[in-house]
Amino acid sequence: MAPRAVGPYEILSVVGRGGIGTVYRARHRETGRLAAVKVLGPAPAIDATAARRLAREFEVLRSLDHPNVVRVYEAGVTEGYSFLAMELVEGLDLRAYLSPALDQGAVRAIPPREPSPAAPTDPGTMPPVAAGPAAIRALAALLDEPETQPEGCAPRESSPGVASPSPPPPTPEMLEALNRPGRITRMRTALAQVLDALAYVHGRGFVHRDLKPSNVMVDDARRARLMDFGLVKLASERDESITLQGRVVGTYRYMSPEQAQGHLVDARSDLYSLGVIVYELVAGVPPFCAPDPARLWHEILHAPPPPLLGVNPGADPALVRLASRLLEKDPDRRFQRAEEIREVLVR
């Protein structure tokens, strides 16, 4: 059952649910400011890894200030719930924003939801809040659950001789919608903003490690925000408190080969993930479509993606070249910096 309040925030409605928590649309009781509040718990419904990642996400976002990176407000623990309050971006994720099903020029943000009924709370009886990431880590230390690997992310023996089923090719109507000039313009603009965010984040030594369309939101002013920094790390750091040695974290379909193997990653791994996004947005299908993790892992490590022009013959040539170079298995053969890609994209 959803909490009616978390710390100083009144819960209004559900924005989304994930494997380790829920994001709510909420309002700060004193200031009236709307926020997106990511909530874990109550304990022991969460594991220690999730709590540590939430604390890490707050610490990293607190150090970042960029118009294309989501802003963070506060974090803490109250009544067993760990929470992170951040900027509420009311809009569409990148895939929905660029959906070919949307009419050209008719992209609008999702309208705000009506607040769900909630009983008024007397400020004098509000539960105490332990503020900051230290409080979340303290809660994590009390949890007895072992650190677990995300479901579906365990590399297993693959079957190289077994061909993976391919998704059906786009119909002529779909191809026409994918290649509409208005959609391509929106795509280039949104991707340029994502690259601005990545250049900023990478410039401060961080690697996002979970770049995918659902982690980019576009608001009604068409400004993109990079979201969900739960797996972020310093490029030079192997943070064992976040990821045990040998564990693979992230979303498999968007992982770089080096990340899928559990190797130390740098900014070029995020750029590979961006290549998967570009390919998917241009082709209408992802580059690797194996239905099970073992085959998907093998494709990421060894298989070339189907040629984009073979899937979408009318695709924007610059975006085709961009995706092809970003999806190189060898990081040295990719673009090395987000700024390089942006220069290509806005020519």
Q: Which of 278, 271, 277 is nearest to 330 (CA)?
A: 271
> Minimum mean pLDDT among 26-30, 183-187, 250-254: which range?
250-254
- In one-letter notation, the amino acid at residue 272 is Y
Contacts of 43 (CB under 8 A, 6+ apart): 80, 139, 142, 143
Per-residue pLDDT band at 154 (split at 50, 70, 90) = very low
Q: pTM of the entire structure?
A: 0.79
pLDDT digits (tens, 9 = 90+) for 19-45: 668 899 999 999 999 999 999 876 655
**Catalytic residue (choose from 47, 93, 210, 270):** 210
Is-contact 158 294, C-beta < 8 A? yes
DSSP string, 273-305: HHHHHHHHHHHSS-S---SSHHHHHHHHHHPPP
Domains in the chain, start-ordered, CATH in brackets?
Answer: 5-142 (3.30.200.20), 172-345 (1.10.510.10)
Please, what is the average pLDDT of the chain?
Answer: 80
Please indicate whether residue 210 is annotated as part of the active site: yes
Cα(325)–Cα(31) distance, integer angstroms: 48
